[in-house]
Amino acid sequence: MKEYEAENIRNIGIVSHSGDGKTSLCEAILFDTKSVKRLGRVDDKTSHLDYDVDEMARGITINATPTFCEWNKHKINFIDTPGDVNFISDTKAALRMMDAAVLVVSAADGVKVQTDTVWGFLREFQQPCIVFVNKIDRERADLLRTLEGLKEMDEMKPLLLQIPIGAEHEFKGVVDILTRKAFLYPKEETGEFQVTECPAELNDQVEEYRSKLIESIAETSDTLIEKYIEEGTLADAEIESGLKEGVKKRAFTPVLCGSALKNIGMQPLLDKIIELLPSPVDMSPLKGKDPHGAEISRERRTSDPFSAYVFKTVADPYAGKLTLFRVFSGSLSSDSQIYNSTQDVKEKIGQLFLIDGKNNVPVPKVNAGDISALAKLKTTTTGDTLCDENNPIKYPPMAYPNPVISYAIEPKTKGDDEKVSTALSRICEEDPTIKISRDTQTKEFIISGMGQIHIEVTVDRIKRKFGADVLMKTPKVPYKETIKGKTKVQGKYKRQSGGRGQYGDAWLEIEPLPRGAGFEFVDRIVGGVVPRQYIPAVEKGVAGAMEEGILAGYPITDVRVSIYDGSYHSVDSSEMAFKIAGSMGFKKGFMECNPVLLEPIMNVTVVIPEEYMGDVIGDLNSKRGRVMGMDTQGRTQVIKAQVPMAEMLKYMPDLKSLTGGRGTYSMEFSHYDELPAHLAERIIAESKKEKEEEQ
């Protein structure tokens, strides 16, 4: 593999809504650049990039997969990214490593929800972009309608550079509006093309768009606009430089068209990627922190000290851990040593690899701007910075979104707990958007992710990669119990069965505390009616009863218990007797204090297109939710609400159904509130039934 300097490298993310054809686009590019010998297809499971078992089974991209090709003395690194909402966080993490993107949009379906989402990522990272309108050959394909949809996207400003030759099944090539050259593809799927003059019937259309194009380019510069006003046109060199500068400044977004599946339009796209999209050295210096926390930066050149960022970890039970990273500055050679500034450790490295789908291509060295991988690093994980120990820098880690759906999991086979635990740990290394926790109240292991499919795929991987089979079920809602009234009660434990007996007597006052206050125990004993050494035992007895729950087996909270009187026996009293007395007294008094169940309430943020506002708000109301506010965010509406957790456990499928997959949401715990009586009765009845079945 030839060694490339940063000036001749392009790092491009290929992004789209799921199903718009970005993987097919990548496959066609690899085939046309002779990187692969066969044109892979997603539908017949021969894709070079969607090779994962889960990807082939579901027919969608699940993993952000790097690959590369060589074209006109340049190296193009590109990452085929997921377009499904369940895996879109992997797309964002991959895009952070890129310098620009190709946004694929279907001419048949137009702009869709994840088109908006990934465009939002590009805006956040301030990355230039080329739009490729795919599927021009499909029935009902309409380039101009798609262009109108693109114009509605925030800050898009699409600029048409090509028009199609033929429509739908008669589509056979494209015309470059600036050069007026036609690219005809007489043999479908081979990638072979002929460069000819623009077909006569398209001349008027090309000239119309060409005038608009030159006018848009002229507006990027005061010098160019003055010349354009005076002369009515620009020189070819001025058009070329103005177009490149406008793309770099994101003044507009070039739009090309073609058919990835029929392999039409790939070569012009590759040319535009090299001509218009920036190399690493065109990007601004990258900022980080030195060991003292001061801000420093690195020029994205080989001449600067080595620095890199780990953006992905692939866990393999046989090959070990594969660490993928982007080199931002300097260079790195195989069989050397690196410094992990995030973990403050040194790591010995072996062979460097370039990632080509599922293949690893060994290389002796990688330079600034390139993407590489290392195997079996001991400490390094996703989000770490690798650098020169003598010139340390730490780049800010990627911020991942909070999970939106959770399931309880348990080993399918008893005794597999350790195997499952190891598998979950490895999976979390590979996918930072998967969160594993143990609910201390329900004692369940909880797996949380970005959607039901995300968690199902993760569970499949746990079984396939690590041989750990788990069961998924809806997690228990962590209800709590509390009281609304107060009482005074005696807890007395007296037992005599020959020899030394047991005697403990405690009078308790039980009263509610404000919501969220927890538990408070007060010692109000005077005159030594209960010796000091027995007071902590009474508190332990009360705390034990609170933890087990009384009404329905859920922990009790927001209660103050005061011991104010009692008695003891000089021989028969003990800590155990007073502990039992405290527990007995609290259980009896709790039921006299108007006990109720509390349920967790979540702060929910729903982001949807405006046309779904009524349906979504109505659905939230039906889930006992309270809408707290609404806001406009670009072309979308943001609803903020408080909704009981029990109603949100399976909200993602509901929201997807209501919005045609165009809605997203996030949630976090807010507070506990009283559960309505009719629902509490059902929960209490179910709890009693479970206890009876256990007995």
| CA–CA distance, 652 with 206 (Å, rounded to integer) | 46
- Nearest-CA neighbor of 126 among 12, 11, 249, 272? 249
What tokens were used for 407? Answer: 């399931």
- Nearest-CA neighbor of 558 among 597, 592, 506, 602? 597
614 CB burial (10 A radius; 0-12, 13-18, 19+): exposed
Task: Note the pLDDT of residue 102.
Answer: 97
CB of 107 within 8 A of CB of 160?
no
CB of 520 within 8 A of CB of 513?
yes
Going by pLDDT thresholds of 50, 70 and 90, the confidence category of residue 451 is: confident
Range of lowest pLDDT (55-59, 138-142, 486-490): 55-59
Q: What is the mean pLDDT of residues 219-228?
A: 86
Interacting residues of 567 by C-beta distance below 8 A, sequence separation 6+:
505, 529, 530
| CA–CA distance, 227 with 240 (Å, rounded to integer) | 15
Strand partners, 74: 71
Given a cut of 70, whether residue 599 has pLDDT beyond it is yes
Domain boundaries, the chain: 6-282, 286-292+300-387, 406-473, 481-593, 599-678
Task: Note the pLDDT of residue 695.
Answer: 60
Task: Note the pLDDT of residue 144.
Answer: 93
Domain 481-593 listed as CATH 3.30.230.10: yes
DSSP states of 236-288: HHHHHHHHHHHHHTTS-EEEEE-BTTTTBSHHHHHHHHHHHSPPGGGSPPEEE
Domain 406-473 listed as CATH 3.40.50.510: no
Q: What is the mean pLDDT of residues 635-639?
A: 84
| CA–CA distance, 181 with 179 (Å, rounded to integer) | 5
Strand partners, 354: 361
Task: Note the pLDDT of residue 319.
Answer: 63
Going by pLDDT thresholds of 50, 70 and 90, the confidence category of residue 1 is: low
Task: Note the pLDDT of residue 467.
Answer: 84
Strand partners, 665: 606
pLDDT digits (tens, 9 = 90+) for 556-568: 999 999 999 999 9
Task: Note the pLDDT of residue 498.
Answer: 65
Task: Note the pLDDT of residue 318.
Answer: 63
Given a cut of 70, whether residue 315 has pLDDT beyond it is yes
Of the two residues 382 and 467, the one the predictor is more confident about is: 382
What tokens were used for 558? Answer: 């927001």
| CA–CA distance, 273 with 14 (Å, rounded to integer) | 12
Averaged pLDDT score across all residues of the chain:
91
Amino acid at 377: L
What tokens were used for 278? Answer: 């920036």
What tokens were used for 351? Answer: 């062979």
SS3 content of the chain, % helix, strand, coil (to 5): 30, 35, 35
Provide the percentage of residues in the chain whose pLDDT is more than 70.
98
Phi/psi zone of residue 265: left (φ > 0), alpha (ψ -120 to 50 degrees), beta?
A: left
Strand partners, 597: 481
Given a cut of 70, whether residue 634 has pLDDT beyond it is no
Assigned fold of 286-292+300-387: Elongation Factor Tu (Ef-tu); domain 3 (2.40.30)
Same fold flag, 406-473 and 599-678: yes
Domain 599-678 listed as CATH 1.20.58.2030: no
Going by pLDDT thresholds of 50, 70 and 90, the confidence category of residue 91 is: very high
Task: Note the pLDDT of residue 419.
Answer: 84
pLDDT digits (tens, 9 = 90+) for 113-169: 789 889 989 999 999 999 999 999 999 999 999 999 999 888 889 999 999 999 899
Phi, psi at 376, each rounded to 5°: 60, 35
Of the two residues 530 and 319, the one the predictor is more confident about is: 530
| CA–CA distance, 68 with 77 (Å, rounded to integer) | 4
- Nearest-CA neighbor of 365 among 399, 330, 390? 330
Amino acid at 289: K
Grouping H, G, I as helix, E, B as strand and the rest as coil, residue 692 is: helix
Please state, in angstroms and as integers, the Cα–Cα distance from residue 518 to each residue in 483, 514, 547, 595, 670, following that order: 12, 8, 12, 15, 15
Determine the Cα angle at 15 with ends 9 and 16, to 5°: 155
Going by pLDDT thresholds of 50, 70 and 90, the confidence category of residue 421 is: confident
Going by pLDDT thresholds of 50, 70 and 90, the confidence category of residue 414 is: confident
What tokens were used for 486? Answer: 């107060």
What tokens were used for 318? Answer: 């046989």
Grouping H, G, I as helix, E, B as strand and the rest as coil, residue 23 is: helix
This prediction has a pTM of 0.80
Q: What is the mean pLDDT of residues 50-60?
A: 85
pLDDT digits (tens, 9 = 90+) for 239-289: 899 999 999 999 999 999 999 999 999 999 999 999 999 999 999 999 999
Interacting residues of 557 by C-beta distance below 8 A, sequence separation 6+:
480, 481, 482, 518, 519, 546, 598, 672
What tokens were used for 137? Answer: 């050959």
What tokens were used for 60? Answer: 């969608």
| CA–CA distance, 228 with 663 (Å, rounded to integer) | 44
Task: Note the pLDDT of residue 577.
Answer: 95
Task: Note the pLDDT of residue 499.
Answer: 67
DSSP states of 460-493: HHHHHHH---EEEEPPPP--EEEESS-EEEEEEE
Q: Which long-range contacts (CB under 8 A, 24 or more apart) does 61-64 make?
A: 61/18, 61/22, 61/23, 61/87, 62/87, 62/457, 63/87, 63/90, 64/90, 64/91, 64/93, 64/94, 64/312
Arch. (CATH architecture) of 6-282:
3-Layer(aba) Sandwich (3.40)
